[in-house]
A = this chain, B = another copy of it.
Amino acid sequence: MTMSDLNPADAAFAAELRHVLPDEILRTPDPAYLEEPRGQWHGAGGLLVLPRSTGEVAAAVRAAARARVPVVPYGGGTGLVGGQVMPDAPAPMILSLERMRAVRGIYPDENVIVAEASAVLADVQAAAQAADRLFPLSLAAEGTARIGGTLSTNAGGVNVLRYGNARELCLGLEAVLPDGSVWNGLKRLRKDNTGYDLRGLLIGAEGTLGVITAASLRLFPRPATRATGVFVVPSPRAALRLLATARARIGEGVTAFELISGQGMRFLSETGCAARAPFDEIPDWAVLIELGLGPAAAPEAVLVGLFEAALGEGLAMDGVIAHSQAQSAALWAMREQIPEANKRIGSISSHDISLPLSVIPDFLERAPGVVAALGPFRINAFGHLGDGNLHFNAFPPPGKSKADYPKARAAVARAVHDLVAEYDGSFSAEHGVGRLKVGELERYGDPAKLAAMRAIKAALDPAGIMNPGAVLALGRQDNAPPG
């Protein structure tokens, strides 16, 4: 398929839609729907549709399929790879699910919650907590991100180590497929081997294979006791040994294990962020460790024991353990404000990479040199070390801005991603491909997998209306005459 086979969501299409949908859910998109957080793309604005029900989503998609109008599903708009805005003509129908944010049901005895696509991640967490359960998906944008978007991008976050990615937290889906049919797959089952894993396929497809309208999600018992600490470690290699020690001693009780670099901590003060490193002298590397244990446990004492063991083995040199909720929040704020500090500095190039755990130390020894060969850039490497997922970002030197290096981005990204590929890692760990990494997927993706993806896309969305240009490159014959 090519873009030239598609038609704009213009007045004629709006008139078509009015035959099947009430006028009040059709709008002209205001600019907020055409922006994305990193400002790399500006969406083409066609028509905004605000369905209130799965039936209305289906009617809108059916009409788009008939008219061959592109559809951009829209959740919280927090994605970092441009999956939520389509810059190309013809102007799309933006299908925002913002009115579908109900929690349809919560089943504490089953550890299941059923939520609509636009339920805000934090609201789902709160609903779970009100039922004395945990919905563990947690990430910086959780106050804005929606369940549908987090599933469509298979989001990760800080609790993957213990609880898994979005895909692993989802038991079932309700979705509108590209022909406008509704798949009622909202099962509350832990085991269901009845054919192909359409659930897993739609999760992470970034809206290119259909629109998720609701999901049944796993809940967990809330850890009765928690503890948070930040340990100064001599190196990422030591941090990984500390992780192994922690898991051997504490098992699944290790809920988060986040790497923080000295550069990241310095960025916090340089950019005037409120959060601060809890050390007089900024160390080169630290890890934030969170434990979640049972009611009879003493996690602070367990963390102290871990720290003493680490000290003895040379895996830690200093440490802070929170003794109150406020202290714990302050340690987490340090970790969670790093992306904001990064944003204020302005990165040359950001990389959401994952690597086999055991090669991370080698990678972190080599990668700075690879970047230094391209310019005097500062590196902030941080992230979900326990999952092998690093945010490895390059920044301009002090006193300069990214605008001073207009051509560096592509070269830095290429060099970093080539090194990631050499170590059999991934150029997209948790943010998705979106529009940002379509070229990377073509370059580094397995050819047989890419061919299978294209075949699946063509089979489920023969008109190519669903989020065109995300994940998979548009057809090469964009200037061919309309079909």
Contact = CB atoms under 8 A, between A and B. Distances in A.
Interface of A: 107, 109-112, 153-154, 156, 160, 164-165, 167-168, 177, 181-185, 187-198, 200-201, 203-205, 209, 221, 223, 240, 244, 247-252, 294-295, 354-358, 384, 387-389, 424-433, 437, 441, 444-453, 455-456, 458-460, 471-472
A224 to B, nearest CB: 9
A426 B194 contact: yes
20 contacts: A109-B240, A153-B193, A154-B197, A165-B191, A188-B357, A189-B354, A189-B429, A193-B426, A193-B432, A194-B426, A194-B427, A195-B433, A195-B453, A195-B471, A196-B452, A196-B456, A197-B200, A250-B294, A251-B294, A459-B459
A426 B192 contact: yes
Contacts of A194: 426-428, 433, 437, 441, 444-445
Nearest to A184: B446
B248 A453 contact: no
Nearest to A112: B356
Contact of A453 (B187, B196, B247): B196
A198 B358 contact: no
B446 A185 contact: yes
Given A192-B429, A195-B445, A197-B200, 18 more contacts: A107-B356, A110-B356, A110-B357, A111-B357, A154-B193, A160-B191, A189-B425, A189-B426, A190-B387, A191-B426, A192-B354, A192-B428, A193-B204, A193-B431, A194-B437, A194-B441, A221-B247, A251-B252
Contacts of A452: 177, 183, 196, 198, 460
B109 A198 contact: no
A193 B354 CA distance: 10
Given A177-B452, A445-B195, A452-B460, A356 B189 contact: yes
A240 B108 CA distance: 12
Contact of A110 (B248, B294, B358): B358
A205 B193 CA distance: 9
A190 B388 CA distance: 7
Contacts of A190: 160, 165, 354, 387-389
A248 B275 CA distance: 35
Contacts of A459: 455-456, 458-459
Contacts of A446: 183-185
Nearest to A171: B356
A452 to B, nearest CB: 6
B249 A294 contact: yes
A456 B201 CA distance: 11
A402 B425 CA distance: 55
A177 to B, nearest CB: 6
A167 B200 contact: yes
A433 B445 CA distance: 32
A183 B445 CA distance: 10
Contacts of A203: 197
Nearest to A462: B455
A170 to B, nearest CB: 11
Nearest to A293: B251
Among A107, A177, A191, A355, chain B packs the most CB atoms within 10 A around the CB of A191
A442 B368 CA distance: 56
What are the nearest 5 A-B pairs in CB distance? A200-B200, A459-B459, A181-B448, A191-B429, A455-B459
B112 A185 contact: no
A388 B188 CA distance: 10
A246 B178 CA distance: 44
A445 B240 CA distance: 46
A195 B109 contact: no
Given A194-B428, A431-B193, A456-B196, A201 B201 contact: yes
